[in-house]
Amino acid sequence: MEPFRRLDAVVACPLPLANVDTDQLIPARFMKQPRAAGYGGFLLHDLRFDTDGTSRGLALDDPAFAGARVLVARRNFGSGSSREAAVYALVDFGFRCVIAPSFGDIFASNAVNNGLLPARVDDAAAERLLGRTAAGHRVSIDLAERTIGCDGETIPFAVDDVWRTKLLNGWDDIDLTLSHTEAVRAFAAERAAMYPWSLPRDRG
Amino acid sequence: MTRSTTTRSTTPPPRTLFDKLWDSHAVVTREDGQTLLFVDRHFLHEGSHHAFAQLAARGAAVARPDLTFAVADHYVPTRGRPAIADDSVRAMVDRLAGNTAVHGIRLFGLDDPRQGIVHVVGPEQGLTLPGLVTVCGDSHTSTHGAFGTFAFGIGASEVAHVLITQTIWQRRPKRMRIRIDGTPAPGVGAKDMALTWIARLGADGAQGHAIEYAGSAVTGLSMEGRLTLCNLSIEGGGRCGMVAPDATTIAFLRGRPFAPEGAAFDRAAADWLALASDADAAFDTEVSFAGEEIVPVVTWGTSPQDALPIDAAVPDPDRIADPARASHVRDALAYMDLVPGRPLAEVAIDRVFIGSCTNSRIEDLRAAAAVLAGRSARVPGLVSPGSSLVKQQAEQEGLDRVFVAAGLEWRDSGCSMCVGMNGDQVPSGERCASTTNRNFKNRQGLGARTHLMSPAMVAAAAVAGRLADVRPLLAGRI
Ligand code: SF4
């Protein structure tokens, strides 16, 4: 995974909606596709386009926000279904960071597993950022310092320490876990001996 | 005879059910607070193809196929089986069969009499047991917590991680207890309890928390009711939802195919009963409700928190002070095509759906049938039982005949119209009274308008042709 460094004066796109669930981020019907073709085109598809494919004029499709790296939204972003495809759609579209007052739990950990930073700010800061980005102000993100710079203001954001380290280093959990293989094996053997009922009774 | 007289100077601190589950699964805890948890059960469904692709890319093997179980549910058709007309849907079901065969994982596939929705099949087969850590690449994995198992949904990268290592890294969540005491009125059940607390605390109200449900209204629920309650934990943002194992839990599990049997079961039952939270264990957050204040609720908006009692009116965004909330309400009402101030019980519906991992177990079907018996539905609708075994049992009880006589379609088991991946969808612009868990925009189909409620309330809506209070319809019936 590519390490997350700084984002300097990048385009940020406002999405002034609360409860943007993962069903919105990527409608279920697109999830049969393999990732290779890219998921960016599916992002927020039904919110962005009418059934005949015309744009509904969201900032996301406004040329002024082309190349946006940061998305700003309201509360409870990424709630709902655990579909990691929601993160694929954001990442493949070009986003590296989503700023919101709160995130769905599973979405946030999926985001980190794909190098996308879920940055939490308070409601008031989110509202200010929505206004400023809508006015075209660019945004800088410093993950090491946990700050957002925009229009002369420095806004702190929250992100779990472990996630921050993981993003900064581009770490992959699986390699790390495999270094504990022996401990896991011993744990499993001990657990099976102590709580034999924890294993499924095999009915053949 | 010797007797130990040593007393420990420190007694262990009281622990919650969640603490006990966490502590007994922690393999490694890092300085930064991340803990590697051992996973006892891993459930898969068709959506696992991204994870298997990651596995293939690494050339990795599945660590514990014996603890991994797969079910075909999200994409399966609910009629005309085993044929699957849509090529892209068939490819999804076949891909699961292929991936599980390659890795030696047991699959309850389309042709298996035990097939059904993963969160119905796990408990039904006795694969879900108290005291376990259970994961699945599906957010409603919280359902299994009804047995006192730490069960939570994970994403595709995490599914790949569990397949390869049989473990998962987690940060210890905070502990929340939701107490509901007292006796809810007849016709009021677990779905109403869940939507009531989510409406009160918000769709992110339990974020970062492991929920334990307690109180006499909760312990009074059957396992079916507890499964519904825990299922909806994720809709309030909870990491998981749980109920402590008790006599109801143990009675449900005895004799289940994959559960222990004989002396092993008795030994297990003793261990399970010891999992209950210690009397003086502390929770980070406590919330309580009186059972009597729980009434039948329906949702009017596009988030599960948008729920109100059936005798309420559509909210007015102009009277909401918080601008972000007012903007959500305005947007939701536009999507739902509802007028502020209109009584909810006047809202006409176009169809109904009874099914999904929230409300498709036998008791749910019985509750709907109790309302529908001898009556006709004014609108069309589908009934999709939670598993093929639930279907069989419902047919033995004659419930299928009640649904069909009322004018509803009796289908095979799967996720069906909950998410519409198999093609069972609500047509654009139509309004559906649904026993499912998500009223998100376009969830049941492009332009579909979903109202969430209990199975009894969906049956009442079917009979009335509009959102309706089930209580009068139950007079003399229950
Ligand atoms: S029934 Fe619906 S919510 Fe439940 S697992 Fe299937 S798609 Fe998900």
pLDDT, one tens digit per residue, over B408-428 is 999 999 999 999 999 999 999
Domains of chain B (ranges; CATH) run 17-286 (3.30.499.10), 296-474 (3.30.499.10)
Chain B residues within an 8 Å CB radius of A110: 155-158
Nearest to B133 by CA among B118, B145, B149, B121: B149
Domains of chain A (ranges; CATH) run 6-171 (3.20.19.10)
DSSP bridge partners of A20? none
Q: Look-up: residue for tokens 């709630």?
A: A79
Chain A residues within an 8 Å CB radius of B438: 21, 23, 80-81
What are B250-268's pLDDT values in tens digits?
999 999 999 999 999 999 9
Instruction: Give the per-residue pLDDT at A203.
Output: 57
Q: Global pTM?
A: 0.95
Compute the distance from residue B44 Cα to the ligand 1 centre, in Å.
13
Is B418 annotated to bind ligand? yes
Q: How many residues does chain B have?
A: 478
Compute the distance from residue B415 Cα to the ligand 1 centre, in Å.
5
Q: Is residue B1 predicted with pLDDT exceeding 50?
A: no
Is B240 annotated to bind ligand? no
Q: Is residue B328 predicted with pLDDT exceeding 90?
A: yes
What are A173-191's pLDDT values in tens digits?
898 899 999 999 999 999 9
Instruction: Give the per-residue pLDDT at A94.
Output: 97
What are B200-212's pLDDT values in tens digits?
999 999 999 999 9
Q: How much is the mean pLDDT over chain B?
A: 95
Report CA torsion sign: B371, B373, B376, B382.
positive
Cβ–Cβ gap A177/B50 under 8 Å? no
C-beta B441 within 6 A of ligand 1:
no
Extract the tokens encoding B283. Answer: 């929770």
Which of B203, B419, B441 is facing A79, going by the closest CB pair?
A: B203
What are A48-73's pLDDT values in tens digits?
999 888 999 999 999 999 999 999 99
Nearest to B410 by CA among B431, B436, B388, B439: B388
H helix or E strand, kind and range, residue B153 = strand B150-153
Say how far residue B83 (Cα) sits from the centre of its chain.
28
Q: Enter the ipTM.
A: 0.93
The ranges of chain A with pLDDT < 70 are 203-204
C-beta B176 within 6 A of ligand 1:
no
What number does the ligand 1 atom closest to the CA of B418 have? Answer: 2
Instruction: Give the per-residue pLDDT at B214.
Output: 98
Q: Is residue B8 predicted with pLDDT exceeding 90?
A: no
Q: Is residue B324 predicted with pLDDT exceeding 90?
A: no
Is B432 annotated to bind ligand? no
Share of chain B above pLDDT 70, in %: 98
Instruction: Give the per-residue pLDDT at A36.
Output: 86
Residue B82 or residue B130, greater confidence: B130
Long-range contacts of A118-122, Cβ-Cβ distance < 8 Å, separation of 24 or more:
A118/A77, A118/A78, A118/A159, A118/A163, A119/A148, A119/A157, A119/A158, A119/A159, A120/A157, A120/A158, A120/A159, A121/A148, A121/A155, A121/A156, A121/A157, A121/A158
Cβ–Cβ gap A35/B53 under 8 Å? yes
Q: Is residue B3 predicted with pLDDT exceeding 60?
A: no
Question: Which residues make Cβ contacts (< 8 Å) with residue B130, sequence separation at least 6?
Answer: B147, B148, B149, B245, B249, B272, B275
Chain A residues within an 8 Å CB radius of B50: 35, 84-85
Instruction: Give the per-residue pLDDT at B2.
Output: 41
What are B49-64's pLDDT values in tens digits?
999 999 999 999 999 9
Instruction: Give the per-residue pLDDT at B10.
Output: 72
Cβ–Cβ gap A184/B36 under 8 Å? yes
Instruction: Give the per-residue pLDDT at A135.
Output: 96
